[in-house]
Amino acid sequence: MGLNSTPSSERIHIAFFGKRNAGKSSLVNAVTGQNISVVSEIKGTTTDPVYKSMELLPAGPVMIIDTPGFDDSGYLGEMRIKKAGQVLRKTDIAVLVVSSEEGLSDEDRTIKSLLESKKIPYITVYSKSDLTGTPIPELNPANEIQVSSSSGHNITELKTMIAALADRDKNERKILGDIISPSDIAVLVVPVDEAAPKGRLILPQQMVIREILDKKAVPVITQPETFSQVISCLIQKPRIVITDSQAFGEISARTPEDIPLTSFSILMANYKGVLRQAVSGLKAIDRLKNGDRILISEGCTHHRQCGDIGLSLIHI
Ligand SMILES: Nc1nc2c(ncn2[C@@H]2O[C@H](COP(=O)(O)OP(=O)(O)OP(=O)(O)O)[C@@H](O)[C@H]2O)c(=O)[nH]1
Ligand SMILES: [Mg+2]
């Protein structure tokens, strides 16, 4: 990854869904201006999601995803639908591609209600406008548009619509939310131990520092050993202390009662929208009885180390 590149998880994910042959891949190629997806008149051409990162101003870095058609049948069809479903889980903004010739189908309506129930903002694109004589009447200019990937009709307008939605989505997604105001001090506890990656900070730490600076507030960064020294030196009371989870107990004991304390993991869980679920999981611990079986799983790709959260839990 280059110094200036944005990690994939931080790019706004824009996925193109639709029935087979709706024109998804042609549209992805038209929007990205590149031939990244295979196009053919054979239904079911795209069998695996295709990813392409690009800049979409004013939103910035985004990830464009082409998906297999979701109206497929048979074993391979089920696999394709499953893959489209997996993409849906990481989709921030959806583009529902519907052929202008065929119009909205029951499958398209199912996808629409799924997107609405998951609160994923979406645009309905009627493709292949060059094949129909008259434009579709009464389209909602906010989230519906008719385009042609072949002639380029309305492709720039579609990009503008997607970028506007993506920009709105980006501005709504903040790791610190409204916790920090200008001139506030936030004390960040960042242990540099064997678990820390060499020569850099991990993503939640980078995101928090950047957001504090964006807010014109002041990040004060320390390791656990120097935490008390930092707290006693500060004339202005910190607005918040944010610690690495592994030092939580130690830092909690040394943080004055009137200063709120949280961890990078808690902020990240909130940012990813899973905090409520995690808290309800925690409450289940109170209901555990002797002999209950507990599954502990850590979804991380790094190799196991002593002191990993999963391993610490096993020792409880
Ligand atoms: N005339 C015309 N044909 C188009 C347009 N967009 C796509 N097509 C044609 O429609 C067919 C299907 O296009 P694809 O882009 O492969 O459709 P898809 O939705 O990706 O299909 P699957 O990968 O099979 O799910 C191809 O023959 C394209 O050439 C368009 O804007 N105008
Ligand atoms: Mg395709």
Could you read off the pLDDT of 136-170 as tens digits, one per residue?
A: 888 998 899 999 999 999 999 999 999 988 877 77
- Using 50, 70 and 90 to split pLDDT, how confident is the model at 191? very high
Show the ligand 1 pocket: residues with CB < 6 angstroms.
Answer: 18, 20-26, 39-41, 43-46, 68-69, 127-128, 130-131, 148-150
Which ligand sits closest to the CA of 26? 1
For ligand 1, atom 26, name the residue with the nearest CA.
41
User: For 108-113, what is the mean pLDDT?
Assistant: 90
Q: Which residue has the higher pLDDT, 29 or 299?
A: 29
The answer to whether the CB of 24 falls within 8 A of the CB of 66 is yes
Which ligand sits closest to the CA of 69? 1
Cα–ligand 1 centroid distance for 141 (angstroms): 23
Q: What percent of the chain is predicted at pLDDT more than 90?
A: 51
Q: Which residue of 39, 65, 66, 67 sits with most ligand 1 atoms within 8 Å of its CB, as the best mutation to test the pocket? A: 39
Whether the predicted pLDDT of 29 surpasses 70: yes
Q: Locate the ligand 1 atom nearest the alpha carbon of residue 26 and give its number.
A: 15
* Least confident among 20-34, 169-183, 251-265: 169-183
Strands (E), the chain: 12-18, 50-56, 60-66, 93-99, 122-127, 144-146, 185-189, 218-222, 240-243, 261-263
Residues 221-268: pLDDT tens digits?
A: 999 999 999 999 999 999 999 999 999 999 999 999 999 999 999 999
Supply the mean pLDDT for the chain. Answer: 87
Instruction: Report how far residue 60's alpha carbon sits from residue 167's, in angstroms, rounded to the nearest whole number.
Output: 8
Cα–ligand 1 centroid distance for 100 (angstroms): 12
Q: What percent of the chain is predicted at pLDDT more than 70?
A: 88
All domains of the chain in start order, with CATH: 8-172 (3.40.50.300), 185-288 (3.40.50.11420)
The answer to whether the CB of 36 falls within 8 A of the CB of 126 is no
Q: Locate the ligand 1 atom nearest the alpha carbon of residue 66 and give its number.
A: 20
